[in-house]
Amino acid sequence: MTRTSEIDRYLDALLAVGQFKDYGPNGLQVQGKAEVQQVILGVTASRALIDAAIAARADAVLVHHGLFWRGQDGRLTGWLAERVKRLMAHDINLFAYHLPLDAHPELGNNAALGARLGWRADARFGDQALGFTGALAEPVALHALADRVQKALDRDAVVLPGDGRPIRRVAWCSGGAQGQFEAAIAAGADVYLTGELSEPQMHLAAESGVAFIAAGHHATERYGVQALGAHLAERFGLKVQFVDLPNPA
Ligand SMILES: [Zn+2]
């Protein structure tokens, strides 16, 4: 058993929570039991994930996407009430780390996504230096690189081809980071990988010649929380279990 407050303090320091300007609070979002042994890990604190934690008799849920975001009006009604009610009825702690979990150089989403793809970063770019960029060991064709991404993530990706140049430098940022495409281009990338695609990226890829791959918001953000969970298991002897609830977005 580890005290909830100790885990909160530890993660706050480990993930340098105070250094980020984020869209919601990072850390303990819903307080439950004072001590934690079993933790359910997931991408999003959805009702389905919370139900899985209840079924597993977990003491805590650790996620990338928590419950509270800028733009909400503060009311605990509807879907949000249902989620909070379930957590509180079962005394389950909810820990959520958004941008600090994207950014961590070893345990974060981008570090873990890079490790899964065999990409090593030699620089960071974009908003709050969340983006990772690095050189490949050898130049590859875009279709070979896209194949590798799809196999590694077990998911189809949308690929915008750019100008067909060999890929020497890659840049990546997990989740909904399509808005960082221009920063990736400025950082010298030949391809940019993120989770989501919006309308402007089609034109930017065509006009800049830099390829763009959208491999899924959920799919690209599954790995940080697992790396962080493994770290907590080792550090505190916690029992952790990742629950994947696939999402086509
Ligand atoms: Zn996200």
Q: Which tens digits make up the pLDDT trace of 81-130?
A: 999 999 999 999 999 999 999 999 999 999 999 999 999 999 999 999 99
Distance 43 CA to ligand 1 centre (A): 8
d(CA 40, CA 208): 42
Range 140-166 average pLDDT: 97
Distance 217 CA to ligand 1 centre (A): 6
Phi, psi angle pair for 123, to nearest 5°? -160, 165
- pTM assigned to the model: 0.96
Residues with C-beta atoms within 5 A of ion ligand 1: 175
Distance 126 CA to ligand 1 centre (A): 16
Determine the pLDDT at residue 100: 98
Q: Which tokens hold the place of 28?
A: 């303990």
> Which residues, at least 6 apart from 78, have a Cβ–Cβ distance to it below 8 Å?
none
Distance 171 CA to ligand 1 centre (A): 17
Distance 201 CA to ligand 1 centre (A): 18
Distance 221 CA to ligand 1 centre (A): 6
Distance 109 CA to ligand 1 centre (A): 9
Distance 34 CA to ligand 1 centre (A): 28
233 pLDDT tier (thresholds 50, 70, 90) = very high
| DSSP character string of the chain | -EEHHHHHHHHHHHTTGGG---SS--EEEE---SEESEEEEEEE--HHHHHHHHHTT-SEEEEEE-S--TT--S---HHHHHHHHHHHHTT-EEEE-SHHHHH-TTTSHHHHHHHHHT---SEEESGGG-EEEEEEEEEE-HHHHHHHHHHHHTS--EEE-TT---EEEEEE--SS-GGGHHHHHHTT-SEEEES---HHHHHHHHHH--EEEE--HHHHTSHHHHHHHHHHHHHH--EEEE-------
**What's the one-letter identity of residue 180?**
Q
Determine the pLDDT at residue 220: 98
Q: Which tens digits make up the pLDDT trace of 32-53?
A: 999 999 999 999 999 999 999 9
Instruction: Give the number of other Cβ atoms within 10 Å of residue 52's Cβ.
Output: 17
